[in-house]
Amino acid sequence: MSTTDDLRDRAARLRGQLPPPPTGGGPPQDLGHRLLTLPRGQDEELRMSLDAYEGRPFLNLRIWTRDADGRGWWPSKRGVTFKLRELADVAEALAAALDLMAEHRAGRPALPPAAPHPRRDRAIPALPSPQSAGGGEDFDEFA
């Protein structure tokens, strides 16, 4: 028996041991312990859940979107995870945010004044006029 025949036999045995491929292509199940769901429009929601990966627990804060068929929800790439050792710092920051918002609602200026966005409020330099490939003469697409 040749080496290639041996490899084909081994490959066939391996394929026989593998589980069948998933069928249907439906949305994945949210296996974590969901703590919060906030609607974000008709086809998006923000979910907070306690989950685990390879036995390591984490807090997952992620946008889920409804598929076009309306059959289910899919996790998007927009999200963040927190390690459990970070949760105390996150909780402290949320408490500080709640305190600042309470002061703001009470009429005390707890929030800094709105500053211009550094990228949106800058002047955009004008582009030089296009030149014709032959050189010398200015390009005019309507001429």
CA distance 101 to 116: 21
Write the CB contacts of 32 (distance below 8 Å, at least 6 apart in sequence): 49, 50, 51, 52, 60
Asked if residue 16 is part of any domain, the answer here is no
For residue 21, the model assigns a pLDDT of 67
The number of folded domains in the chain is: 1
Is pTM beyond 0.85? Reply is: no
Regions of the chain short of the pLDDT cut 50: none
In this structure, is residue 95 part of a structural domain? yes
Residue 61 lies in a domain: yes
| Domain-embedded: residue 44 | yes
CATH number for position 93:
2.30.31.10
Measure the CA–CA gap between 62 and 35, rounded to whole angstroms: 12
Residue 99 maps to a domain = yes
In this prediction, residue 136 carries a pLDDT of: 58
The token duo for 72 is 């289910």
Assess if residue 98 is contained within a domain. Answer: yes
- Give all strands (DSSP E) within the chain, no chain letters: 33-39, 44-53, 56-66, 73-83
Q: Domain limits at 50?
A: 27-105
